[in-house]
Amino acid sequence: MNYLKYQPHILLQKHIESYWVLETDSSSLKVPLFADATTDIFINIGNTLGNVSTYMQVAPGRMYMGGPATSAHFFNCFPGNIFVGIRFKPGGLPLFYNVPLDAMVDRITEFQDKQLAIILDIDELLPSRLDEHFLSKQKCTHSAIRIADAVYHYRGQISVDMLAKKCHVSNRTLERYFYAHMGIGPKEFISIVRFKHAMLALQNGSTKGEFATFAAEMGYYDQSHLIKEVKKRAGSKPSAIGLIPNLL
């Protein structure tokens, strides 16, 4: 397997997390996709089918959009699969495409962007072509990115009421912003950010002392709450997180 990530232009980095290429060798591969509220546009430029969590086939030569993920999925890659993709940060996609993200949560559908499809060839100029494409499509910045940054700052340990106050908006306005620009509500996004910080700590092996104490430090009611969240959003028990490579 060959997996590469490219950093986008500095003017795009607030909205696009990375450009990526995943190419399989002679063996099949099951790639875990953790819940992280990001959105991907990708194309299979290989010559064989792939699938996501066994229910969605990813056909050669077709482009797809993977909506914001709130639960774990698995990308099943087979010999001959070559995927090229763009991963948008939460709230980033609407700056480039007018897509109803609330209808795309935990779904993968075919997507059309003929100009983008033309430039998705694997060579050393791929990142530059993608930068040029998205810089030309970029619209005015909206405040969803700023609100997401506030959640990251508190590592997901903030209530919806407090987030609304910090951002000087009403709870109702906050709810509308999230569904319009991220596809999910603020409570769900806060939970995902909290999970991501707990997952990083689990992967780094920094869970010192009692697991119940660790759960409380991560903002969970108790260890049962943490275990339930990890199973939902990572598809695995907390004890196995450090053994799972989260490539994408």
Q: For residue 81, what pLDDT is reported?
A: 87
| pLDDT category of residue 143 using cuts at 50, 70 and 90 | low
**Phi–psi pair at 128, nearest 5 degrees:** -65, -40
H helical segments located in 35-125: 114-119
Query: Across the strands, what pairs with 42?
Result: 64, 85
Query: Across the strands, what pairs with 84?
Result: 21, 43
The Cα–Cα gap between 154 and 18 comes to 23
**Average pLDDT in the chain:** 88
The Cα–Cα gap between 163 and 160 comes to 5
Which superfamily does 144-243 belong to? Answer: Homeodomain-like (1.10.10.60)
- CA R_g for the chain: 18
Least reliable range by pLDDT among 51-60, 63-72, 173-182: 51-60
CB burial string 77-101: b at 16+ within 10 A, e below: beebbbbbbbbbbbbbbbbbbebeb
Least reliable range by pLDDT among 123-127, 205-209, 230-234: 205-209
- Tell me which residue has tokens 């799972």: 244
The answer to whether the pTM exceeds 0.75 is yes
Highest mean pLDDT among 28-37, 126-135, 167-176, 221-230: 126-135
Q: For residue 155, what pLDDT is reported?
A: 93
Q: Which CATH number describes the domain made up of 2-137?
A: 2.60.120.10
The Cα–Cα gap between 223 and 181 comes to 32
Q: For residue 236, what pLDDT is reported?
A: 81
For residue 209, pLDDT over 70 is answered with no
| CB atoms closer than 10 angstroms to residue 158 | 19
- Tell me which residue has tokens 């999970």: 195
The predicted model gives 113-141 an average pLDDT of: 91
Token output for 16 = 């696009």
- Tell me which residue has tokens 């997996």: 3
**Domain locations along the chain:** 2-137, 144-243
The pLDDT tens digits of the residues spanning 13-49 come to 999 999 999 888 877 878 788 899 999 999 999 888 8
